[in-house]
Structure 1
Amino acid sequence: MTHVPSTVDTLRWGRLPSARAEPVATVASGAVLTMDTLSHEGALPDQGRDPLAFFARHGVEPLPDLLDVVPRLHRAPDDGPHFVTGPVRVEGAEPGDLLQVDVLALDRRADYGVITDRHAKDVFGADRPAGFTDPVVSTFCRVAAGRAHLDGDPRLSVPVAPFLGIMGVAAGGDEPHSGPPGPFGGNLDLKHLVAGTTLFLPVLAPGALFYAGDPHFAQGNGELASTALEAPLRATLRLTVHTGRFDLDAPVARTPASWIVCGLDRDLGRAVRAASAAAVRLLGNDGIAPDLALAWLSVAGDVEVTQVVDGVLGAHVVLPRSVDLLGVP
C-alpha cells in the first residue's frame, strides 16, 4: 500500500495543487493508499506561529511533523490556512472522467484538537452581537471515550466523527487559494464524508492529481465559528477512475443511505439552487423527467447548509439511494 506522509516534500500550505504540480506519488486506479494530514491550528500567525508554545499551554506536545514543517514551508500572508497533502497521480485519469474516492478509514493522530473563532471570518462577520471578546479565540478540546470535550465548561462535548474538510483534484494552471471550494472539490467541509462514504470528483487534469487536508474530528453543518474541531488524521482511501463523460458542476457524495449533491456559490440562495438543479439533472440520468424529479426532491430530499464561512458558500441536497445518480458501482 502506498503511504504519503506529511512532510515538507509532500505538503503545501495555503494553496491547492495546480494541473502543473508534480505528483508526490502515483497509484493505479482502484489502489488503496494512506495519507497523513496536519491541522493548521497552533501554526498560524494569529496564534504566534509557534505550535510548541501554543500546545504547551494545554499540556500536550504537537506532532513532530508539524514542528518540522512550520518553519520550512512557505506561506504568503494572503494564502489560506490549510496544510494540503499531495497531489497523488492516478494512472489513466483524463479530463472528463470521474474520480471515486472511497473513505475507508480515518484514524486520529492525536487525542486533542482546536476550534478557533476568527471573528472576521465567522458567521457574524461585521454584524456581531454583544458579548464576544478577542478577535481570535481558540478553544482547546480533549478526546476521551469517543467524545471531544471543550475546555471551559464540562457540559460541552460532541461525538467524534472524523472527516477530511479538503479532498479535491487539480484544476487550471495556477495554485488556488485553499479556502474557497469549487467544482474541483477542495475545502468542501462536508461533515458527512466519514469512513464508509464516497466522494465523486470530476477529473479536470491528466492524472487527476488528488490531494487531501483540513482534517477534522467533528463539525456541525454551517461551521459557524469559521473552523470545525481541527485535528490531524491518517486517511485510508481508495482512488478509482471511471472513464467517460460525466456532467458534474460540483462534487457528489454517497453514504450507505443517501446521495449528497453539492452546490457552491458566494450567495447561499444560489448555492441551494445550484445543488437542486444538479440533483434534477442527475436524476435525469436515471430516466426521471425534471418535473417529476423536482416533485420527488420536494418530499424526499433535504437541503442542508454545508458551510457559510469559506467565501464560496456550500449547500447540499440529501436524497435516498433508491435512485442511481451516476451509474457507477
Structure 2
Amino acid sequence: MQKATTETLYYEHSAANPVTLTVKPGEWFEVETQMNRGPDADRVPDDIRDLYNQYRSDSQPNDRGNASSGSIYVEGAKPGDLLTVEIGEIKVHPVGWTRYRGSTGAMPGYLGPSNIGEQFRICRIENDEIIWNDKLRFPVEPMMGVIGVAPEREARHNGWAGEWGGNFDIQEVTNGAKLSIPVNHEGALLHVGDMHARQGDGEICGGGGIETGGSVTLKVSLSEKPEEMTWPRIENDDYIMTTACEKPAEDAFRIALSEMILWLEASYGMSRGEAYIFLSQCLEARVTQFVNPSYTYVAKVAKKYLV
C-alpha cells in the first residue's frame, strides 16, 4: 500500500504545492498525519512528557496550525469532476492534547479571557479511551478535521474551509464515511490532516477536541460533479449530509440547507417546495466548529426517510 508520510507538510491548500504521492481511483492508500504543535514540552507534566515528545514536532511553526500531508495527485481527475474520498481505518497516536489560548469566537464576551485564562491538557490514549483524569475516560471517536483539494484561484491557509473542503472539523468525517468534493485542478491535489481523537460540537476551545496524529487509509473515486452541487457532501450508511462554512453561523446554516434542498430535488424526485417541508420534519443540523475563521454547519437527512 502506498503511503503519504509527514516528511513533507503543507500549511495551506494550494495548487502550487509540489505533489508528494500519486494514486489511482479505486486504490487504497495510507496517509500519516502530524499532530498539531501543541503546548511547549517544558509545560507538560513530567509523567507524560516523554510520550508527548515522541509525537510532537518542535520544527513546526508555532503560529501556523493544521499541518497537512499531501499534495496527493489523483490520476484522471480534472476540473469539473467530483472527487469522492472514502475513509477506511483511522489509527490515532497514544497521546493527544487540547488547549484554550484565552480567546475564541465561542467564548461569551461577558466572561472575558481573564476569567478563565489559558488552559491545556495532555491526555494518554489507551485501549480506545482518552484518559481525561483519574475518574473520567472518553471513548475515542476519531475524525479527520482537514480533507480538501486545491482551491480554484488561490492558496488558502489550512485553518480555512470552503467549497474546496479544508478545515471543516465535522465529526462525521470518520471511519466508513465518503466525502465528496468538487475538483478545481488536474489531479485534484488532495490535502489531509488535523486528526482528532474526538471532538465536541463547536470545537469551542480552539485547540481542537483531542488533537492527535496517526494514520488513515483512504480510497478515492471520480465521477461527474452534479450540476447543482457547490459545497462538499458527506455520506455514510445512515445519512446524506451537506456542509457549509461561513460567518455568521446562520449563513452557514442557510447554505447547508439550500444545498440539501437542491440535492433532494436533483436526486430524490422532490420539488423544492416538497423538499423544504420534508426537511422541516426530519432535518438534523448543527454547528460543528465555531472557532475557525468561518463557522461550519452540517445538515443531515436519515436515509430511512428517503423512500
Q: TM-score, normalising length from structure 2?
A: 0.91
Q: What is the aligned partner in structure 1 of residue 230 from structure 2?
A: 249
Counterpart of 1:268 in structure 2 is 249
For residues 199-278 of structure 1, the aligned pairs below 5 Å read 199-226=179-206, 227-278=208-259
Matching residue within 91, 96, 112 for 1:113 = 96
Quote the residue 1:11 is aligned against.
9
Alignment match of 1:139 (pick from 111, 118, 121)? 121
Residue 244 of structure 1 deviates from its aligned partner by: 4.8
What's the TM-score, normalizing by structure 1? Answer: 0.85
Task: Give the partner amino acid of 2:3.
Answer: H
| Percent of pairs with identical residues | 23
Alignment-derived partner of residue 138 in structure 2:
158
Q: Alpha carbon RMSD of aligned pairs, Å? A: 2.2
Contact 2:37–2:62 (8 Å) recurs in 1:
no
Matched residue type, 1:36 = E
2: CA distance between counterparts of 1:150 and 1:132?
23
- For 2:43 and 2:113, how far apart are their aligned partners in 1? 28
Residue 103, structure 1, aligned to residue 87, structure 2 = yes
Q: Describe the SS at the equivalent of 1:309.
A: coil
Q: 1:317 aligns with which of 280, 299, 302?
A: 299
1:284 to 265, 283, 306: 265
After TM superposition, give the deviation of residue 64 of structure 1 in Å.
5.2
- Residue identity in the other structure for 1:247: E
* Matched-pair contact (CA < 8 Å) for 1:41–1:230: no
Amino acid at match of 1:2: Q
Distance 1:56 1:33, change over 3 A: farther
Q: Which runs of 5+ in 2 are unaligned?
A: none
CA contact (8 A) 2:13 2:166 kept: no
Shift of 1:21: 2.1
1:20 aligns with 2:1: no
What is the Cα deviation at residue 111 of structure 1? Answer: 1.4
What is the match of residue 88 of structure 1? 72
Q: Which amino acid aligns with 2:9?
A: L
Number of aligned positions between the proteins: 303
The residue type paired with residue 120 of structure 1 is S
Q: Which residue of 1 aligns with 2:278?
A: 296
**Structure 2 residue identity aligned to 1:243:** E
Whether the 8 Å contact between 1:55 and 1:61 is mirrored in structure 2 is no
